[in-house]
Amino acid sequence: MKIAIILISLGILGFYLMDIFFGIGFGVQHFSNGVKDLYLSNSKDILKVSNVVTSIVVNFRGFDTLGEVTVLFLASTALGGILYKKRHHVGERSVLFPASRIVMSGAKLLFPSIVLLGAYVFIHGHLSPGGGFQGGTIIATGFLLMLLTYRNYSVSHNRLVYFESLAGILFISIGLVGYFSKGSFLENVLPVGNMNDLFSGGVIGIIYIAVGFKVAAELTGIIYTVLHEKD
């Protein structure tokens, strides 16, 4: 009975969703005077940033990114409050299978290059696909590999907090510098440089690096907290 009600309501929902989106159409220009062209041209002419998604995420809609970083911060804070006790001590973590020697050496070999790749991705966020979130996540997966492979590998919790807090403070202080010198939060205060240069886009690169560090620290912290739960 309950399943029947759920199926019927899902059917109604699906019907309306398909109706809406088939009507909207795929691969066509939907609107005539939206903000899309403004974003593209402003990103090219004023900010000199090649990757438009980056310029939207960091500058045009930078407030969203601030909120997003806060969501991750909140998630790791709430996680610590929810899983309140029975934490393993460092190095006492149980592993499903002990890693073989090949996996251990491979992980040791891969770890620096994963971190390097992550750093590359967030430093070049304004030139090529990628950026702070992607790079930060890649670095976090590197730490994840080490945590899974080595039984007694541990990340200093205090050091994670330092990185997290300092990166967050850097983000907001860049915003406040913009507010106090130009009159608007997160406004660009540095010269924008030339298109396709590493030093282009003014503060965008710096903010994305801060975001990268923050995301990496937060995701590593989340994984570390969950992994150290006693079952």
Partner 1 sequence: MEKYLDILNVAIYGSAVLLMLIGLYGALTKKSLIKIVLGLSILDSGVHLLMIAIGYLKDGTAPIFSAGNEEKMSVMVDPIPQALVLTAIVIGFGVTAVAISLVIRLYRHHNTLRIDEIKKLKW
Partner 2 sequence: MIYVILTLVLLLLMVASAIYAIWQKDLLYAVIASGILSLFLSIVFVILQAPDVALTEAAIGVALTTIIFIIAIRNTVRYEDEHDKKKKVKTTTK
Partner 3 sequence: MVGSPVLFVAIPLLAAFIIPLTGMIWKNSVRIIPGLVLAFMFALSISLMGYVSEHGTIVEVIAGWKPPIGINLVFSPFTGFLTMLMTFLGFMVWLYSYKFKRNVDFEPSMKYFILLMLLVTGSVGIVLTGDIFNMFVFIEIVSISGYGLTSFYTRRDSAEAAFKFLFMGAIASTFLLIAIMIIYSQLGTLNIADIAEKMPLMDNKLKVLSLVFFILAIGVEAEIFPLNGWAPDVYTQAPGPIGAAFAGIVVKAAIYASVRLVYTMYDFGGAFDLFIIIGLITFIVAETTALRQDRLKRMLAYSSIGQMGLVMIAFGIGTKEGVYAALFLMFNHAIIKSLLFFSGSYLVFNKKNKYIKHVNGMGKYLPITSVLFTIGSFAIIGLPPFSGFWSKLAVLTAAADSKMVILIAVILIISILEAVYYLRVVNRIYFFDKKEKTETQKPSINALIAMICLGIIVLVIGFYPDLISGYLDRAATDLMDKGNYIKEVLTINK
Residues lying near partner 3 in the complex (CB under 8 A) are found at 16-17, 20, 23-24, 30-36, 38-39, 42, 59-64, 66-68, 70-71, 73-75, 77-78, 80-82, 84-85, 158, 161-162, 164-166, 168-169, 172-173, 175-176, 178-179, 182-188
Taking residues 25 to 64 in sequence order and writing x for each that binds partner 2 by CB under 8 A, - otherwise, the string is --------------------------x-xx----------
What residues numbered 106-125 form the site for partner 2, per CB under 8 A?
121
Taking residues 86 to 115 in sequence order and writing x for each that binds partner 1 by CB under 8 A, - otherwise, the string is x-----------------------------
Q: Does 130 interact with partner 2 (rule: CB under 8 A)?
A: yes
CA distance 129 to 53: 8
Q: Does 157 interact with partner 1 (rule: CB under 8 A)?
A: no
Query: Which tokens is 73 given?
Result: 């911060």
CB 69 within 8 A of CB 211: yes
116 membership: H or E segment, kind and range: helix 101-123
CA distance 177 to 174: 5
Number of residues that bind partner 1 (CB under 8 A): 56
CA distance 65 to 210: 12
Closest-CA residue to 57 (of 176, 211, 198, 189): 211
